[in-house]
Structure 1
Amino acid sequence: MSALAIDIGGTFTDIVLFDEKTGRFAAHKELTTPSDPARGVVTGIRHLFAAEGTDAAKVDRVVHATTLFTNALIERRGAVTGLLTTQGFRDTLEIGHERKYELYDLHLPLPQPLVRRALRQEALERLAPDGTVEIALDAASVLAAADTLVAKGVESLAICFLHAYANPAHEREAARLIAERHPGLILSLSSDVSPQIREFDRSSTTVANAYVKPLAEKYLNRLSGDLAGIGITAPLFMMLSNGGLTHVDEAKRVPVQLLESGPAAGALSAAFFGERSGQRDLLAFDLGGTTAKLALVHGGEPLVVHKFEAGRERRFTAGSGLPLNISTIELIEIGAGGGSIAAHDALGLLKVGPRSASSVPGPACYARGGTEPTVTDGNLLLGYLDADTFAGGTMKLSTQAAETAVGRLADEAGMDLPRTASGIHAVVNETMAAAARVHVAEQGHDPRDFALLVTGGGGPLHGCELARRLGISQVICPPGAGVASALGLLLAPARVDRVATVTRRLDGLDHAALEAEYAALEAEAQAVISATLGAGARLTIRRSADLRFVGQGYELITDLPAGPYGAETEAAIREAFQAGYERVFSRRPAVAAIEIINIRVSVTSAAAGGSLDPDVPVAAEGAAQTGTRQARFGDAAYSAPVLDRRRLAAGSEVIGPAIIEEAMSTLLIPPAARAVVEASGNIVIHLSETR
């Protein structure tokens, strides 16, 4: 039997077919079809099945990640969404946290709410922070508000009542009333989507879920039907931002959890392949057609956080986006990909990105209508790419179109074509390096302590130069690097994260009550896992809590013992929190009182399937070198050997400069660097010789 992985990116849709018996995989890249993403998926699957002679009926598992929902949110292409909230709280989305992310900027651009004020209505009701009813829900006000919003064209409604995390009764009753009156209206309840304190963050998350929910339902229904139409009857699993899988119904219910699904899969893939080279501390670098992603893998696992900002006004500035309470693998995304457009700014300086040619019209060299110079155009002119075999031979590149596009940029600067192409390559590398330095420093690490693992169609092209700029001496390029995020989908476990606000002091803790609350979250999460993988799945359960010293305004997420909890629990929780606090802030304050704000559980279970087993020849079958190509490294041009990765046997060494090609990506080995092919399938490049 086989598993099928589908990863839709901004430029390419990657499709991987994995034979669970042999451990081998085959891959195909198809240009993404933004107007109808499912069409590109089906076209790519048909092409791959035809090339491999695969019977669709033999596919027993389909795993999918997509940027569709993220892009819809960022580009404001979601559904017409309304908000029903407690009387007096109509403006929560605009009031936000009541602080500026840039204190001295008088013209600060703020993220615009997903729901304009005219589509926000209030209901007469109120709960106290402990969930007790202060004002009973007024049904007439709920129905009047719903009638008004539906009359204004609202398709999806977020219901966010004050303190609903402590008592969901009012939200659920309002949803029942509205569903009876307007059965076609799609509803999202904050007590289901984000049952935790902080009104703005909870409202922002629920509204974002409502904003993309109709799109998610339509797309997933369409995709499921299209897969069945080509004979695939296997269950469809969706990748979550936290690096886990879930079933389609759960994805439709809370699609906000899918926003970072593709990058999360790439981080899982990096952790897997890094482990095969004995590296557990990695910077996972994925460069695609539209963006570059960088994730930190420490101790063999990507870092998972429980807050995310979407659509930042300033990409690297915290607080400039829409806050979302979702679990996600921590990463940074940079507007620098193969389709990033190069141009001179008002001062005549060369800039690359964040504008992108994407898949439509694409870089100039795609010859699909694009005329602006991009990173891919520059790489083609530098000799790094083969115009005839790009993207596994699925498309041919036009050198003449690239020369025309980059030539205009060269004329503006009074430079020749090679120097301009080198400038594009250097600028985009430094853009990525600058972002990486900040991201790694914010995590409290030094990039020189890590190896760089490169994936994506462009990661292997830029990885060695990026590593040199970061002071990293070792670069790892896994097999199938161009489709590594899709491979990561096959490695992902089923995972469910759940959270609840409890707000109680640690001293005098009611251990039985705390154990019951954790057990309830675990039962809810286990039900989703069972619906995903079936009953009997082996589970791993992790407990954590958001803790703080009494009087503090922010919490520290702390891993807790497994339970069940009893008399010794308080001391164990106290020690875990104080140790974590000291690790982050380098001291333990002389404060005794600690309180628990939120409790969290993470339930995972490995999905069924074989282990990836890249096909690496023990002995070379024919000459690995297929030719030479003039390539420019820095200011110097070299006649670089071109090698076929499939013919490089385990133990082979390559001294740069060299170009190593495989179906979906091209690896650049700079002058004097040494690359070694491992039995694991990884190519490890040692750059210490270059310094």
Structure 2
Amino acid sequence: MSALAIDIGGTFTDIVLYDDTTGRFAAHKELTTPADPAMGVVAGIRHLFAQEGTDAAGVTRVVHATTLFTNALIERRGAPTGLITTAGFRDTLEIGHERKYELYDLHLPLPQPLVRRALRLEAVERLAPDGAVEIPLDAASVLAAAERLVAQGVESIAIAFLHAYANPAHEQDAARLVAERHPSVILSLSSDVAPQIREFDRTSTTVANAYVKPLAEKYLNRLSGDLAALGITAPLFMMLSNGGLTHVDEAKRVPVQLLESGPAAGALSAAFFGERSGCRDLLAFDLGGTTAKLALVHGGEPLVVHKFEAGRERRFTSGSGVPLTISTIELIEIGAGGGSIAAHDALGLLKVGPRSASSVPGPACYARGGTEPTVTDGNLLLGYLDAETFAGGTMKLSMEAARSAVGALASKAGLDVPQTAAGIHAVVNETMAAAARVHVAEQGHDPRDFALLVTGGGGPLHGCELARRLGITQVICPPGAGVASALGLLLAPARVDRVATISRRLDGMDWPTLEEAYAKLESEARAVIAATIGEGTRPILRRAADLRFVGQGYELITELPPGPYDARMEAAIREAFLSGYERVFSRRPAVAAIEIINIRVSATGSTAGSSLDPEVPKAAQGDPRTGTRQARFGQAEYEVPVLDRRRLAAGTEITGPAIVEEAMSTLLIPPGARAMVEAGGNIAIHLAQPATAMAPERETA
């Protein structure tokens, strides 16, 4: 039995074929085909099947993650979308939260709504906050709005009425009216997509879902057909942003849940391989061709949050993007990857990214039409990459093209090519380190308390230098690091997150009603799990709630004990909230009244064969040394041994400098570092260098 994992990135599409019986996996990197992503997937699968001499009959499950929907939203390439909302609330998307993310910037760029004003229309209706009908739904106004939208070429309509989270009846009636009159129009209801309080966030999430939903349906239908044409009849699972899997129909219904699917899989992979090295506190660092991702794994699990911002005007500034109320693994994306373009700014300073050469045309060394210098070009010139075996030997790199591109940049600065290549490498490392420091600090942690686990095609190349800049002394490089996100897909459980708004004070709680609300969410979650991995599954259920002190404007999501709930649970819920509040804010205010705003349920269930056990040779498989290469570290040149990772037996010790190559990535071990090949397959690197001034010593009492 084999599992097939597919991860579409901005530059490469990774395909992994994993044998559940032997623990062996084979992988292939195919250049992503942005105009038709399914074409790259099919080409990659065919190549891998031919390479391994296998066929589709043995594939028992297919797991997929993609950046397609994220990119469509960020680049504004979604379907023509309209919005029907309550009369008087047409401008909710413009008004937003009514606050500036930079208070004193008079020329502040704001994220533009996904739906322009002419396509935001109103219906006559009104619900009270408790769901009671104040103004009945006027069918004629709904149909008139739909007619105007369809006449303007709208393919997808979001319906978001005031207080629909408390009573979905008006939205459901409006959807029925529109579907009967315009059956080809795709609909998204806020009571289905984001049934919780806060009008702007709920409307924004529903509109984003409507914006990518036609694209999702078209793509998933196309991919399902292409897989069937290849003879693959196994079920197709889609990775969600929360680190779980779902079935295709659920993915088509709410594709906004898939936006961060690829990075989520990478975080799961990092947690798994970190556990093998006895590390449960990790910074999971993935560097691909277009972006770098960093996720914090604490206590063996990635942190899951229930909000996300897409397409930020300023990459690290909260409030500058399109808010989405989806469950997602907490991470940051940095505009730094192998394809990131190096250039001088207006002051003549070297900058790297966020512009990327992507897969088309790609870095100059790909010899596919790119002429601007990139991180990959610099790494090739520094001696870190083998031009003949890059990406598993599926493509040859051009040293001449890289030298020409970097040389043009060097001549402008009055430097030689090696100095400029080293500068590109150093600048991109510091860009990533600066972002990592901010992200870890915002979570209330010190990076020196973590190990750094490196994945992606470029993570092992840059990981040790990034760790040095963060003051981290342990770096872990798992097997198959270049396709770790695809491997993470094989580890993911089926998962469902459900939320509902109740807005009740804890001291006046109607406990039977609360338990009934939780039970309803759990029943819905069980149904989706059963549809994903089969009837008879007993999912693990977790309860949480958004709690706050009465009068506060924002909530703290708090894990709660399992049900059933009655009045005897009040003390336990109160203590869970107060403990979480103290952990975040370092104190417990002298306030007694607490209220529950939203209740949350997550359900997870193991998929068949969701395991991973890559084989590691117990004894040396021939001489691992394949030669040497001239490589530059800092200002010094070294004759560096090149090792084949497939021939490294468990227990092998490596002293830096060294270059360890495997099919999809290259690990750079710097001078002075010591590495060990562990029995579980990881290479653990200990950096002897002391923490730099950029990671200051802790103050002692």
| TM-score, with structure 2 as normaliser | 0.98
1:337 aligns with 2:345: no
Following superposition, the deviation at residue 231 of structure 1 comes to 0.3
Report matched runs for 1:162-201 at 5 Å: 162-201=162-201
Following superposition, the deviation at residue 214 of structure 1 comes to 0.1
Report matched runs for 1:435-514 at 5 Å: 435-514=435-514
Following superposition, the deviation at residue 174 of structure 1 comes to 0.2
- Matched letter for residue 294 of structure 2: L
Following superposition, the deviation at residue 617 of structure 1 comes to 1.1
Equivalence for 1:599: 599
Contact kept? 1:672, 1:690, Cα under 8 Å = no
Contact kept? 2:382, 2:418, Cα under 8 Å = yes
**In structure 1, distance between residues paired with 2:233 and 2:608:** 17
Equivalence for 1:305: 305
Following superposition, the deviation at residue 688 of structure 1 comes to 2.4
Following superposition, the deviation at residue 569 of structure 1 comes to 1.1
Equivalence for 2:386: 386
Most deviating of 623-632 and 613-622: 613-622
Following superposition, the deviation at residue 538 of structure 1 comes to 2.7
Q: Secondary structure at the match of 1:498?
A: strand
**In structure 2, distance between residues paired with 1:23 and 1:610:** 12
Following superposition, the deviation at residue 21 of structure 1 comes to 1.0
Q: Secondary structure at the match of 1:295?
A: strand
Equivalence for 2:524: 524
- Matched letter for residue 581 of structure 1: Y
**In structure 2, distance between residues paired with 1:23 and 1:539:** 26
Contact kept? 1:538, 1:606, Cα under 8 Å = no
**In structure 2, distance between residues paired with 1:193 and 1:10:** 27
**In structure 2, distance between residues paired with 1:253 and 1:164:** 18
Q: Secondary structure at the match of 2:554?
A: coil
Contact kept? 1:160, 1:190, Cα under 8 Å = yes
Q: Secondary structure at the match of 1:93?
A: helix
Q: Secondary structure at the match of 1:679?
A: coil
- Matched letter for residue 103 of structure 1: L
**In structure 2, distance between residues paired with 1:160 and 1:690:** 55
Contact kept? 2:490, 2:610, Cα under 8 Å = no
Q: Secondary structure at the match of 2:409?
A: helix
Equivalence for 2:411: 411
Q: Secondary structure at the match of 2:547?
A: strand
Q: CA RMSD in A?
A: 0.6
Q: Secondary structure at the match of 2:360?
A: coil
Equivalence for 1:259: 259
- Matched letter for residue 436 of structure 1: A
**In structure 2, distance between residues paired with 1:280 and 1:180:** 53
Following superposition, the deviation at residue 606 of structure 1 comes to 1.0
**In structure 2, distance between residues paired with 1:223 and 1:311:** 26
Contact kept? 1:546, 1:597, Cα under 8 Å = yes
- Any stretches of 5+ residues in structure 2 without a counterpart? 692-701
**In structure 2, distance between residues paired with 1:614 and 1:241:** 25
Contact kept? 1:671, 1:690, Cα under 8 Å = no
**In structure 1, distance between residues paired with 2:590 and 2:615:** 58
Contact kept? 1:21, 1:610, Cα under 8 Å = no
Q: 1:610 and 1:193, CA in 2 relative to 1: closer, same or farther beyond 3 A?
A: closer
1:136 aligns with 2:136: yes
Q: Secondary structure at the match of 1:441?
A: helix
Contact kept? 2:495, 2:529, Cα under 8 Å = yes
Following superposition, the deviation at residue 610 of structure 1 comes to 5.7
**In structure 2, distance between residues paired with 1:196 and 1:173:** 19
Equivalence for 2:583: 583
**In structure 2, distance between residues paired with 1:623 and 1:519:** 60
Report matched runs for 1:142-157 at 5 Å: 142-157=142-157
- Matched letter for residue 427 of structure 1: V
**In structure 1, distance between residues paired with 2:105 and 2:169:** 43
- Matched letter for residue 129 of structure 2: P
**In structure 2, distance between residues paired with 1:330 and 1:442:** 11
**In structure 2, distance between residues paired with 1:82 and 1:610:** 40
**In structure 1, distance between residues paired with 2:453 and 2:89:** 47
- Any stretches of 5+ residues in structure 1 without a counterpart? none
Equivalence for 1:574: 574
Report matched runs for 1:241-280 at 5 Å: 241-280=241-280
Q: 1:610 and 1:532, CA in 2 relative to 1: closer, same or farther beyond 3 A?
A: closer
Report matched runs for 1:218-367 at 5 Å: 218-367=218-367
1:608 aligns with 2:638: no
Contact kept? 1:673, 1:690, Cα under 8 Å = no
Following superposition, the deviation at residue 690 of structure 1 comes to 6.2
Equivalence for 2:695: none
CA deviation map 1:458-487 (0-9, x unaligned) = 000000000000000000000000000000
Equivalence for 1:663: 663
Q: Secondary structure at the match of 2:650?
A: coil
Contact kept? 2:672, 2:688, Cα under 8 Å = no
**In structure 2, distance between residues paired with 1:117 and 1:255:** 24
Q: Secondary structure at the match of 1:568?
A: helix
Following superposition, the deviation at residue 522 of structure 1 comes to 0.4
Equivalence for 1:558: 558
Following superposition, the deviation at residue 611 of structure 1 comes to 3.0
Equivalence for 1:160: 160
**In structure 2, distance between residues paired with 1:371 and 1:60:** 43
Following superposition, the deviation at residue 567 of structure 1 comes to 2.4
Q: Secondary structure at the match of 1:622?
A: coil
1:48 aligns with 2:59: no
| Count of paired positions | 691
CA deviation map 1:416-466 (0-9, x unaligned) = 010000000000000000000000000000000000000000000000000
Contact kept? 1:511, 1:569, Cα under 8 Å = no
Q: Secondary structure at the match of 1:222?
A: helix
**In structure 2, distance between residues paired with 1:305 and 1:688:** 35
CA deviation map 1:397-418 (0-9, x unaligned) = 0000000000000000000010
Following superposition, the deviation at residue 511 of structure 1 comes to 1.2
Following superposition, the deviation at residue 615 of structure 1 comes to 2.1
CA deviation map 1:303-330 (0-9, x unaligned) = 0000000000000000000000000000
Equivalence for 2:206: 206
- Matched letter for residue 99 of structure 2: R
CA deviation map 1:53-99 (0-9, x unaligned) = 11201101000000000000000000000000000000000000000
**In structure 2, distance between residues paired with 1:220 and 1:641:** 46
Equivalence for 1:4: 4
Q: Secondary structure at the match of 2:508?
A: coil
| TM-score, with structure 1 as normaliser | 1.00
Most deviating of 530-539 and 351-360: 530-539
**In structure 2, distance between residues paired with 1:436 and 1:280:** 18
Contact kept? 2:337, 2:375, Cα under 8 Å = yes
Most deviating of 530-539 and 28-37: 530-539
Following superposition, the deviation at residue 622 of structure 1 comes to 1.2
Contact kept? 1:282, 1:451, Cα under 8 Å = yes
Contact kept? 1:14, 1:27, Cα under 8 Å = yes
**In structure 2, distance between residues paired with 1:288 and 1:90:** 40
Following superposition, the deviation at residue 689 of structure 1 comes to 4.8
Contact kept? 2:493, 2:610, Cα under 8 Å = no
Q: Secondary structure at the match of 2:654?
A: strand
CA deviation map 1:244-272 (0-9, x unaligned) = 00000000000000000000000000000
Q: 1:547 and 1:690, CA in 2 relative to 1: closer, same or farther beyond 3 A?
A: closer
Equivalence for 1:102: 102
